[in-house]
Amino acid sequence: MRIGIVDPVHAIISDRLRRAGHAIVSLHSLSPEERASEMDRCQGLVVRSSVIDAERIDRSPGLRFIGRVGAGLENIDVAHCHRKGIRVLNSPEGNRDGVGESCVLLLLALMKMLIPANASVRSGLWPREALRGTDLRGKTVGIIGFGQMGSAFAEKLRGFGVRVLGHDKYRHGFSRAGIEECGLEQVMRESDVISLHLPLNGETAHYVDDTFLHSLKKPVWFINTSRGGVVHTKALLDAMDDGRVIAAGLDVLEFERPTLEGLDPSSDPNTLARLLAHDRVILTPHIAGVTHEGKVRMAEVLATKILHHFPHATS
């Protein structure tokens, strides 16, 4: 099978697929014209952030699978793949620990006033009372989306003495020690912390909007490490300004470019400027799952999945 590696990814994938007899073509160093021509001939594609839309899919008549190194699949037209019988694979198991740990990091940094404390000391100030923090122990953490990432966050919370509520529209039966499976209304009513772990699609775009935020029964700390587009940023900022959200830790923004190469402020520059200036928001550049270990594991997981379905070059 001819497999094109569209984006730079860990060499484990190429090495393992090549050892199984597949022909591997590195496409990321080619010109756009050469890359397109090579992709037309591939039976498999491995991507990271490149967009694979319906037009691209139709230009590869022999395409049998698309594998994404990572969790989200919004850069791939999955519905079109399904219509054409093309298998779509991803590897969220690979960086779940990184995301889970980053959620804990963001939450504790918000609750313990880490960023303003650091800035104060560097400015020659020592405002201990003004920086009095909040303990996580005894709080209720609501996790919306209980797949690999949401469950990883729940695992990392063990030992903090918290109550964990988990809600997932499509997954059930995950209640266990320390985790309560529940409906969204209970999450909104009882949570002190809300953390999002949702894919971005037509159903979840602006999932957190003004209606969602007005449904909160008490002020919350808010974490999003999933996709920026699931949050309507203006609504979130309004909720922070009127006290419905205490503070927010955002690893992802709705202003991100699809290629993950930076921000595009053109859609709403005023809201982006307002977000960047807000002193109760911690922002990181979509790096919750970007770890050295995660890079290796994501590649290993995806290679294993590909070889499970296509174990030999002739499969």
Q: Mind telling me the catalytic residues?
A: 227, 256, 286
157: Cα separation from own chain's centroid: 18
Nearest to 199, CA basis, from 76, 62, 39: 76
Paired tokens of 25 = 């073509």
Amino acid symbol at 266: S
Paired tokens of 85 = 């019988």
Q: Rounded to whole angstroms, how far apart are CA atoms 284 and 249?
A: 8
Measured in degrees and rounded to the nearest 5, phi and psi for residue 255 equal -95, 5
Measured in degrees and rounded to the nearest 5, phi and psi for residue 66 equal -130, 125
25: Cα separation from own chain's centroid: 28
